[in-house]
Structure 1
Amino acid sequence: MLQSFWAIGLVLLLVGCDFPRDSNGALSRIRREGVLRAGYCERPPWVENTNGNPEGIEPQLIERFASRLGARVEWTAGTESSLIEALRVGQIEVLIGGFLSDTAWASRAAISHAYKEAKVVVSFPTADSVRALTDLEGAVVAYRPARPDFAALITSREARPEARNDWRGQIAVAYEFELSEDVHRSRPLKTEKHVILVTSGENGLLYALDHFLMRPGQLAGANKS
């Protein structure tokens, strides 16, 4: 008899649960209104601001995700701190900006599945310029101006960072997938796991996003240059 009551209680519990559930109904609202509110901060090549419009790998992913929900994307640009606050209070539902799985904002946002592992490398323009990492001391190493984190990485190797928009053809720090076929003229520095941030408590939306990101081929055709 006790087992019967336990079984009935379990069934009622399962029926009453709608898991995963959004705390504020974000996923239902997006589907109902046809609008996904997304924030972005520039961090090439993941997000690039072109004439006030987000372009790059992650904006394309979010556009595709919104399309699967039957929605369009309403974009908001800003700084990380301002957009994190907008995400926290529900003014936007998702936030992109080349965020990593170990982001310092983890306490203020939900984090998606790591959809991409990207190798950061130091590349050399010619075979004659190839050096071991231990030989970078004092060398001038280029990086994109919009990537101050790469400058810090270069400095940590006791090399001299130089911001350059035309970094190709120089000794430079970049992502391996940004290089030409001459990947053998590069040396690994680190591997990053890239994620997208979602408003905390919006579990249904996070589940839908993770399901989308884990589908094979989602990065196919994304702008990687």
Structure 2
Amino acid sequence: MPNWANIDTVLLDMDGTLLDLHFDNHFWLEVVPNAYAKKHQMSIDDARKEMANKYEAVQGQLQWYCLDYWQAELQLPIMELKREIQHLISIREDAIVFLHALKKAGKKLILLTNAHRDSLSLKVELTELDKYLDTLISTHDYGVSKEQQRLWQQVEADLQFDKSRTLFVDDSAAVLASAKEFGIGHLLAVANPDSKQPMRLLSGYENITDYRDILPV
């Protein structure tokens, strides 16, 4: 249980943290390889291998999250493909309760996502996620991802939060490690980001599978 008396600001990831990661996993692991295979008249297995290599080449960098990069790299209509499966975009059921409770407790709620602005806009359009939050930040506005210390330095300078009294929630071990290195005082890992996949604990962090277990009183 976080010590809510020592927390003023809550920084929240989006995909896998507030939203079900199933949409993104299905898109990048199924929809994109299938579209790539069709475009290049190759087998789906070969397309998956090629896509895996392309993903690995930019993992953790801003390009990994950049829809403009992937549209140019793959010559595929990325946003058009996303809209074809937009019915899979959904807020975690426990997240809404959590956000309401945090707001009632007077916490400042900030979305801090590596998602591209186009992806963020689509998800806000379909979920109205913005109505639960004070501020929505895409790291693309800063030109650097959450995996890099420069991002944290710029966000802290802009928002003027006290990092020792800030909770950061994410489902990525690499991102949580970056936040820890920067000195964010309270860290929470989401162990079940994809509703269609088994739970996996992130070692070295407090893990959560249901936000309703840690609501501030």
TM-score, normalised via structure 1 length? 0.28
Structure possessing the higher radius of gyration over alpha carbons: 1
TM-score, normalised via structure 2 length? 0.29
More helix by share: 2
More strand by share: 1
